[in-house]
A and B are shown apart, each in its own frame.
Chain A
């Protein structure tokens, strides 16, 4: 192929984006634009990289379908890393099909991994798993194996399968060493930390202690009655009662479970579940009604009995009651949970991931920003949010290196 393009591509592969830029900085032909785009992405200027890759895709001729598809995949990866989750998914699927048809299996696999990572981020775990299953694993380069295993681990973590997650992360670490890319090794390491950091709090008989993900997983097989604040359900083994749309009833169930085997006073229940400052007769009447509803809902799992000063939980078929809560409970914990991946998120991407209205997410973010729990950069549609203790932007950007080869 072309001399200077070859030289620039070799520099890029050797991890020298400035060397690559030196050779093609002033050229505007399609391969030069693509190389400049990848170099800029590696240097962290994702906005410039995106523009360059888009121009490159346009500049490649109609016969150069593969080169064009590779640019689309690179742009999709930049979109993923900058948490632009509304990026057109169909375009990526088409590019992936083109690469598959032309035998560029490594880059086709890369496109599949990007799609699976996007689905994982927006919480569509089953679809992420299906997409991953479609990607051929034959002769993947080590960097692609790392990407794949990270998605496998992500799915396993969301599904509370710690052993599967650990196994995937071990494979990812091995592949990262083979690839010799420090950023990938770091990404595997930080994912490993998730497994060794408390994922939840267990509250039982008035005391509490932190739980690792593996311990949360083991709880699923325990015979205890579990009030699960992650999923807003009360369950005992296979019997699950969902309180997704009944926050007041769930709050009452939780207050009763936390105090068990002791009872809870009416005043405490009213204050905790209705957020009422002064208790009057109308509150007492409402409490009676809500306890009646709770009793009906909980019937398969527990009874709620009246005591002298309030109510007490009476679990069936078990002598254990526990509450599973987030490690730190605060308002907007769900928003913070997504931001804790350290990546810059747009409020619209968060809204998509949380299945909340964009305005609600914006209000939550502004509130969190006032207490310095999150920070933002950029303006308007380009505004991004992230949690403060992030040294620069870890990107996890792989980018299909051999953009310009056959």
Chain B
């Protein structure tokens, strides 16, 4: 396993009226984050909130190209990103113990915080297709270039780690400075991660390590 200190590139926020950041996603233009009763779109160029959708937003956030997915209480809401309308809801696999959310390969990936698990879920029905065990409490989840990454937050320590999607084995780990929490995670598809900062109410950009050779 490779282990290194996370390189924090930039910080967005804290934002006025935002107490906590619960989930983070990226639609190619804006970074979206969940702040309890709102989903907010931040322009990563200037760090300003460009738009907000009033919707219950208690944990993970994801984007499939057209829709936003947002966990609230014990459900996952499917939201039309253009209109902000909640189209459908499916039950969340953790029954309310859910934390992070990601979209990849036609599935939703849901972190279950204290159970230290990541579930692959059918976005139509909410059926659990398979479950990956992690070693630490799971917060945000994201896929990039076939790599499964998730945030951890156990007690007072946080890191971002890449795990083997088959075995759950930790392949790589980026440690955040003490007292810095990761409450949501999303890749921009390139070499950046967006990390929610929990009750600090901010979003940080962390650099994704470069591969020695492209796969």
Contacts and interface: CB of A to CB of B under 8 A. Distances in A.
Given A29-B114, A406-B198, A3 B155 contact: no
A1 B71 contact: no
Interface in B90-116: 92, 94-99, 113-114
Given A7-B72, A65-B156, A66-B155, A1 B179 contact: no
A29 B97 CA distance: 10
B80 interface: no
B33 to A, nearest CB: 13
Contacts of A402: 199
A331 interface: no
B199 A405 contact: yes
Nearest to B98: A3
A280 interface: no
B73 A3 contact: yes
B73 A23 contact: yes
B68 interface: no
A330 B15 CA distance: 61
A78 B185 CA distance: 38
Interface residues of A, number: 25
A23 B73 CA distance: 8
B198 A1 contact: yes
B96 A3 contact: yes
Contact of A2 (B113, B157, B181): B113
B198 A4 contact: no
A370 interface: no
Contact of B179 (A7, A61, A102, A405): A102
A342 to B, nearest CB: 34
Nearest to B136: A63
B187 interface: no
A29 B155 CA distance: 14
A384 to B, nearest CB: 37
A30 B97 CA distance: 12
Contacts of A2: 59, 94, 96-99, 113-114
With a 10 A CB-CB cut-off, give which of B37, B96, B200 has the most chain A CB atoms.
B96
A3 B71 contact: yes
A64 B200 CA distance: 18
B134 interface: no
A102 B155 CA distance: 11
Interface residues of B, number: 33
B155 A61 contact: yes
A180 interface: no
A54 interface: no
Interface string A1-23: 11111110010000000000001
B155 A63 contact: yes
A102 B199 CA distance: 14
B99 A7 contact: no
B153 A1 contact: yes
A388 interface: no
Contacts of A247: none
B61 to A, nearest CB: 11
Contacts of B153: 1
Given A66-B156, A103-B179, A3 B200 contact: no
Contacts of A29: 97, 114
B154 interface: yes
With a 10 A CB-CB cut-off, give which of A6, A23, A66 has the most chain B CB atoms.
A6
Interface of A: 1-7, 10, 23, 27, 29-31, 61-67, 102-103, 402, 405-406
Given A1-B22, A3-B59, A6-B58, 14 more contacts: A1-B113, A1-B198, A2-B97, A2-B98, A2-B113, A3-B96, A5-B97, A6-B22, A10-B58, A23-B73, A23-B96, A61-B155, A66-B156, A102-B179
24 contacts: A1-B99, A1-B183, A1-B198, A2-B99, A3-B22, A3-B58, A3-B60, A3-B92, A5-B97, A6-B36, A7-B58, A7-B72, A10-B36, A23-B73, A29-B114, A30-B114, A31-B114, A67-B155, A102-B156, A102-B179, A103-B179, A405-B198, A406-B198, A406-B200
